[in-house]
A and B are shown apart, each in its own frame.
Chain A
């Protein structure tokens, strides 16, 4: 289940099970509201429970990278499966994000 927690200036985002065009819009608005309110130094996207992701997930990451870049912060990736990493490599997102 999707969840957000904030600790030591870092925003931990527990992503929902299936990331697609349908599910990204609500996650995106909730993450962005949290970034706006708390201005974290890091956003950590936790893929530990994500069983499916298509290229909609890349849009989600790229958009958050852009916002964090504007406020001098970074986006980190946590526990992504090999299937998800295949899409990361295809998009090049693995080169602009760091591992948590």
Chain B
């Protein structure tokens, strides 16, 4: 894999930064001239992953979220969203559609389902007490120029 460009940003795990994170991701990926729906899918997936870190990983505590985005020469977008929060004890359970530990806050339990549906591949590494890393990949369709 050859990386043609990448960014790394970190920001405090606050709800108001969810919008910043997805906007920053979209601005970076826009340079690859993605389709409108591809860009919207990525924005949504980033929003879900960052929201998970804000709501679940750092509940009641301050912390940092880091986001790296790589854009490969094969037009693959690879996004890592990391936190050093509480970690996920049972990843399989956490990724089950409609499962949530924050029911009284009206969380739908669909965060991972949206990520998996809107991206090509999603993988999660987590250790209780240490933090979580969500990796998401999506191959962009051929650029506008190539489509003629």
The chain A residues found within 8 Å of chain B, CB to CB, are 18, 20-22, 24, 28, 52-56, 58-60, 62-63, 82-83, 86-87, 90-91
Contact check: which of B16, B18, B106 meets A59 at CB < 8 Å?
Answer: B106
Q: Does B101 contact A (CB under 8 A)?
A: no
- Say whether chain B's binding surface is mostly helix, strand, loop, or mixed: helix
B118 to chain A, nearest CB (A): 8
Contact check: which of A21, A54, A60 meets B114 at CB < 8 Å?
Answer: A54
| Cα separation A90 to B114 with both chains bound (whole Å) | 8
| Cα separation A86 to B43 with both chains bound (whole Å) | 14
Number of residues on chain B facing chain A (CB within 8 A): 25
Residues of B contacting A24 in the complex (Cβ-Cβ under 8 angstroms): 106
| Cα separation A22 to B19 with both chains bound (whole Å) | 8
Known pairs A20-B51, A90-B117; A55 contacts B19 (CB<8 A): no
28 contacts between A and B (CB under 8 A): A18-B19, A20-B47, A21-B55, A22-B18, A24-B106, A28-B106, A52-B43, A53-B44, A54-B44, A55-B107, A55-B108, A55-B111, A55-B113, A56-B51, A56-B107, A59-B107, A59-B108, A62-B108, A82-B37, A83-B37, A83-B40, A83-B41, A83-B44, A86-B118, A87-B114, A90-B113, A90-B114, A91-B108
